[in-house]
Structure 1
């Protein structure tokens, strides 16, 4: 007996973890669920996570994303926000959908592109994750080469991880 994807319900604020998921299965799940879904899907070396955010999660995402935008605009730094775009690389066996993400240093490289291909394009410079209902795993961000990851949880403050792209960007003048 096989379980079909449309039989699975992930209520808001919950996560579903699946192990031993092949890259092709991951691609099929992304395709079947489509782009207009509320759930976030992350993949790292056979482990698939499906998370459906709560409203408080979205509030934190917007608040921190707006803070980053205001900071970059005030510093007159070009950026491109791609929200929860799916970034994936089969060779790295990793795929991630951040709560919000920004191209800052590499903004000019990807400006105007309709599709980002991590086999030739750089990953986002900054990713933001709101950890209210689940805990962000760093492996997929590191594998994909994301320079900086900020995490915010209901009991934590913003945590800066990986190399600091904002420090590099903001020190140019």
Structure 2
């Protein structure tokens, strides 16, 4: 058997490495060795670990969509706690994920001041965002963690997935923003940010939200 150190692995941007037969203790050790300050994102489900290195365009899309959600929450005066790309994991479910962005909305009050999350007692985030998601492992992990709402952005398309009866179903409506055409509007302003720039697009979006309320 050949044993490799993590530092021997080099994952180019836009690529991923999938490791099989990784037990929970090994997953925990990998998290610790890689640390928090890293570009790679991990997803773990039932012994399969995916390590992916995002492209710059992934990071740009992730940031703009997260900013749009934050503006929505602010302008609608919806309290939230943002946990970004925190590692959400449960040993009894043998899964762990690191979303591109995450928000506690309905459950925000009990997450105020939290520095560590234990999903055996804490709820999962109410809304998570994933950009360029192609891995079945991640979806299985989110289902296991029972994340209520998952936004997937890929190839210029936004898909809202709601957790129902153990599986995700697609929806045109976000329960967190039920009175707004979320899919159409988010895509419009993401595209606008590519032509006029991030700041003008965010200002225009804030103006649009205020007009709706």
- Residue 167 of structure 1 corresponds to 175
Structure 2 residues not aligned, in runs of 5+: 164-170, 180-213
Per the alignment, residue 24 of structure 1 pairs with: 25
Of the two structures, which has the highest relative contact order with CA contacts closer than 8 Å and spacing of 6 or more?
1
Tell me which residue corresponds to 1:69: 70
Name 1:85's counterpart in structure 2: 86
Q: Which one has the bigger helix percentage?
A: 2
Deviations along 1:43-90, one digit per CA (max 9) or x if unpaired, are: 000000000111100111011111111111111000111111000000
- For the 8 Å contact 2:130–2:153, the answer to whether it is kept is yes
How many residues align? The count is 169
Structure number, greater radius of gyration: 2
Give the equivalent residue in structure 2 for 1:54. 55
CA distance in 1, matches of 2:162, 2:178: 16
RMSD between aligned alpha carbons?
A: 1.8
Which consecutive aligned stretches of 4+ in structure 1 deviate over 6 angstroms post-superposition?
A: none
1:21-170 maps to which residues of 2 (within 5 A)?
21-131=22-132, 134-135=134-135, 137-154=138-155, 156-163=156-163, 166-167=174-175
Contact 2:160 2:174 in 1 (8 A): no
- How does the TM-score come out when normalised to structure 2? 0.75
Cα distance, 1:169–1:105 mapped onto 2, change above 3 Å:
farther
* Unmatched tracts of structure 1, length 5 or more: none
Q: 1:135: how far off? A: 3.7
Deviation at 1:19, TM superposition (A): 0.8
Tell me the distance in 2 between the aligned counterparts of 1:122 and 1:135. Answer: 24
So what's the TM-score if we normalise by structure 1?
Answer: 0.91
